[in-house]
Amino acid sequence: MQYNVCVVGLGYVGLPVALRAAEKGHAVYGFDINEERVKNLSEQSFTSKDIDVQKQIDIYGKKITYSTNPDIIKNANVVIVCVPTPVNKDRKPNLNPLKAACTTINNHRGAGTLIIIESTIFPGTVEEVLKPLFTGNPGQDYFLAHCPERIDIGNKDFTLATIPRVVGGITEECAEKAEAFYKTIIDAPITILQSIKAVETTKIVENTFRDVNIALVNELARSFDNMNIDMKEVLKGAATKPFAFLAHYPGCGVGGHCIAIDPYYLIERSEANGFHHRFLKMARQINEEMPLYTIMRAEEALMKRGKTINNTQIAVLGLAYKAEIDDMRESPALKIIQHLKERGATINIYDPYIPQQSTTPTLQEALQQSDCIIIATDHKEFKAITPQQLKQAHVSIVIDGRNCLNKKQFTNAGIIYRGIGS
């Protein structure tokens, strides 16, 4: 079946969804409040650092009608909502973009439109917060469903088209309609859950699972650094067990719009319902402390060279929260830079994916200007750094926040190497 689809919010999630719908032959409209983004997409001057998204843009980008005018929504019989769901400074969920988007959709939708929320939300959001924003009878005048997005930006093995999905609706028919639509764009199983609350919670639980497991290895890494046990080797060993162990890896912090945020959605929601999540809060705290721990590793290493952070030239390599992408939301690199600034370092920042925020145009220059480097993102370019390269640039200390270099090679070359648990 061919649908008229309007994607609301054309960011990291929404644009790939719109492109995929266009690929599958639907008539696609894209609505966003960001004028510059809409202009660039319309003029086909928008580029993505993700090669696969760029390929999709090149082929299907021109088939989509983009606009900042919400009137465009009335063309659609399926509206997919992919707007941000951030937290405020106090770590409380901020549903304002989502509420604004739903109000706009309600004011401009045609009769019988299926509205699907893909944004990540806390349990109860659709029923209690969003449904009241829509006028008319659900299941008659409009259909409302939730299908959380699971895309892992930059992941070549699992893509939007091949990741299984879970769906729920405020009525059975809403869920079935959403399932029927996703069957046209997803080549993987789609599972309907009985309650929309279970669907909302599924997504949050998936990301909370990641957060607490990363917190566990981060805590172990800090303990093992004290005992001179190499966490990398321990994980290499533990990962050989073919059941009941799932390797997670320590690092200088957890970033991005999902794992670093979603647990707060559950923590807050549970708190409002009288339950206090000690474990989840502690995991967040441990992961949020990792940038500072990375600084502590640098302080200790510098001391060995008779230096302090104050007045030392330090290169921060990587701004993105993970490898080969340009997204720096909640990135630990930002906290590392802040800590370095507070301690009086001279900082040289380089990220090949984010040149506009880099203070140094090339890796080579960043190395040449620095005594110490901190790898905050394991981009391929940084994983290829050699001891010879550092020696030539007179860099004598490596703080490997992603454990992506070979410790032995650097140590053998007389360079002080500190990883996280390595």
Please give the Cα distance from 91 to 277 (Å, whole number): 14
274: exposed, middle or buried (C-beta count within 10 Å: 0-12, 13-18, 19+)? exposed
* Alpha-carbon distances of 272 from 100, 124, 129, 314, rounded to whole Å: 23, 12, 14, 44
* Binding of residue 61 to ligand NAD (CB under 6 A): no
The residue among 317, 330, 150 whose CA lies nearest residue 255 is 330
* Binding of residue 354 to ligand NAD (CB under 6 A): no
Binding to ligand NAD in span 218-257, by CB under 6 A: 257
Determine which one of 82, 102, 258, 372 is catalytic: 258
* Binding of residue 8 to ligand NAD (CB under 6 A): yes
Please indicate whether residue 6 is annotated as part of the active site: no
- Binder to ligand NAD among 166, 170, 258, 328 (CB under 6 A)? 258
* Binding of residue 22 to ligand NAD (CB under 6 A): no
CB of residue 329 to ligand NAD, shortest distance in Å = 8
* Binding of residue 7 to ligand NAD (CB under 6 A): no
* Alpha-carbon distances of 399 from 290, 296, 299, 418, rounded to whole Å: 13, 10, 10, 5
Please give the Cα distance from 163 to 167 (Å, whole number): 13
CB of residue 402 to ligand NAD, shortest distance in Å = 18
Segment contacting ligand NAD by CB under 6 A, of 32-40, 238-246, 356-364, 365-373: 32-40
CB 331 within 8 A of CB 255: yes
- Binder to ligand NAD among 3, 17, 29, 37 (CB under 6 A)? 37
Residue among 10 and 376 whose Cβ is closer to ligand NAD: 10
* Binding of residue 320 to ligand NAD (CB under 6 A): no
CB of residue 96 to ligand NAD, shortest distance in Å = 8
Q: What is the largest CA-CA distance in the chain?
A: 73
CB of residue 50 to ligand NAD, shortest distance in Å = 11
Distance of CA 267 to the CA centre of its chain: 19
Please give the Cα distance from 269 to 225 (Å, whole number): 36
Q: Name residues whose C-beta falls within 8 Å of residue 33's C-beta, 6 or more positions apart in sequence.
A: 68
Binding to ligand NAD in span 100-159, by CB under 6 A: 100-101, 104, 119-120, 149, 151, 153
Which residues are catalytically annotated? 258
Q: Rule CB under 6 A: which residues touch ligand NAD?
A: 8-14, 31-34, 37, 82-85, 97, 100-101, 104, 119-120, 149, 151, 153, 257-258
